[in-house]
Amino acid sequence: MAIGIIVPDRDTTPLKQAIQNKIPDVPVWVYPSIPDNSKVEMLVVWKQPKAILGAFPNLKLVSSLGAGVEHLLHDPHLPKGVPITRIVDPQLSLSMQRHVLLSVLHFHKRWGDYALQQSRQQWRVPQPPERKVRVGILGVGALGQAVGSYLLQAGFDVLGYSRTRKAQTIFPVWDAQSHALTAFAKQINVLVCLLPNTSQTQGILSASLFQALPVGSCLINVGRGVQLVESDLLQALEQGQLAQAYLDVFEQEPLPSSHPFWRHPQIFVTPHSASITDQQQAAKIIADNFRRLQLGQPLLFAVDRAVGY
Ligand code: GLV
């Protein structure tokens, strides 16, 4: 019985160590140094190589190392019937809360204008000096709820939009059964995308949605790159429908050096760094789920494969 870690894009020594400290009697192996695939009962996975998930005959559980799970669900080698879990953690939420608050404040306090003015040694107070902001949170899951609450506490108006009806949010949430997405867009001027990547959310950030937003709105995409129709964003910025976009995720990552987003004055690019899993925190959830698996207890943060998150 062993745990395998397949995360080729980062150093997972702290994760291995922290899991090992919690479950000292179970070996924790890091890909590509997995001596015996048949002993691995649980995998922790992020950006896995092609076909690897099919190579573990006794797999009983797969955990994503992040909040997202589409890298698992879209992998044809993921064995059927093996449960999937993900990381939901206050540290991950706090990081996302701060990233989105900073983006909202940057737009609200017009810091993009100041950066431009400073490059020209220009002393000018923009009019109005602060943009009025009403934030819409598209996707009210664990991160969406955390971000919406944080912005509300920072004094911003917040409205959420969700596929299903949500109870227990401290800000109002419209659901897709009762309101059209375009009706929601008309109520807000800062759109924060925190949706999971499913077949229903791909391409959702498109011209029809941008047209429904008030002129001069702002887009913050911290969901997934495939949710944005990139050419529609460029057009909406050109037309003035959108004034600013803060993008952390892209259709192709790393963003190719020739991509127009890099040099666009109204686009602020971050390298998928809004909220990166803390390995110590993740180890607690992973070790806990491993124990639950052994005891046949319900798993934490289990993913519904049919729904896609
Ligand atoms: C990051 O994008 C994550 O899914 O945790």
Per-residue pLDDT of 46-69, as tens digits, reads 999 999 999 999 999 999 999 999
Write down the pLDDT at residue 167: 77
For residue 277, how far is its CA from the centre of ligand 1 (angstroms)?
Answer: 7
Q: Which atom of ligand 1 is nearest to the CA of 65?
A: 5
- With a cut of 90, say whether residue 99 has pLDDT above it: yes
pLDDT at residue 140, rounded to an integer: 97
Does residue 66 have its Cβ closer than 6 Å to ligand 1?
yes
| pLDDT at residue 197 greater than cutoff 90 | yes
Q: Catalytic pick from 10, 272, 292, 305?
A: 272
| Section 127-134 average pLDDT | 97
User: What pLDDT, on a 0 to 100 scale, did the predictor assign at position 119?
Assistant: 96
71: annotated active-site residue: no
The structure tokens listed for 259 are 């991509």
Taking each helix axis from N to C end, the angle separating 279-295 and 90-108, rounded to the nearest 10 degrees, works out to 140
Q: What is the pLDDT of residue 168?
A: 84
> For residue 188, what are the contacts with CB-CB under 8 A and spacing of at least 6?
134, 135, 136, 159, 213, 217
Active site residue 272: yes
- Rounded to whole angstroms, how far apart are CA atoms 149 and 182? 23
Whether 282 is in the pocket of ligand 1, judged by its Cβ within 6 Å, is: no
Q: What is the mean pLDDT of the chain?
A: 97
Decide: 68 in ligand 1 pocket, CB within 6 A.
yes
- 240 φ/ψ angles, rounded to the nearest 5 degrees: 85, 0
Q: How far is the CA of 98 from the centre of ligand 1 (A)?
A: 15
Please check whether residue 76 is in contact with residue 96, taking contact to mean a CB–CB distance below 8 angstroms.
no
Angle (CA) 211-213-219 rounded to 5° is 105
Compute the distance between CA of residue 245 and CA of residue 227 in angstroms, rounded to an integer: 14
Tokens of 105: 């404040």
The residue whose CA has the least distance to atom 5 of ligand 1 is: 66
Q: Quick check: CB of 196 below 6 Å from ligand 1?
A: no
Tell me: pLDDT of 78 over 90.
yes
CA of 197 to the centre of ligand 1 (A): 11
Q: Is 26 in the pocket of ligand 1 (CB under 6 A)?
A: no
Task: Convert the pLDDT of each residue in 218-274 to its tens digit.
Answer: 999 999 999 999 999 999 999 999 999 999 999 999 999 999 999 999 999 999 999
No. of H helices and E strands in the chain?
9, 12
Q: How far is the CA of 307 from the centre of ligand 1 (A)?
A: 18
- Which atom of ligand 1 sits closest to the CA of residue 272? 2
Give the Cα separation of 17 and 24 in Å (integer).
10
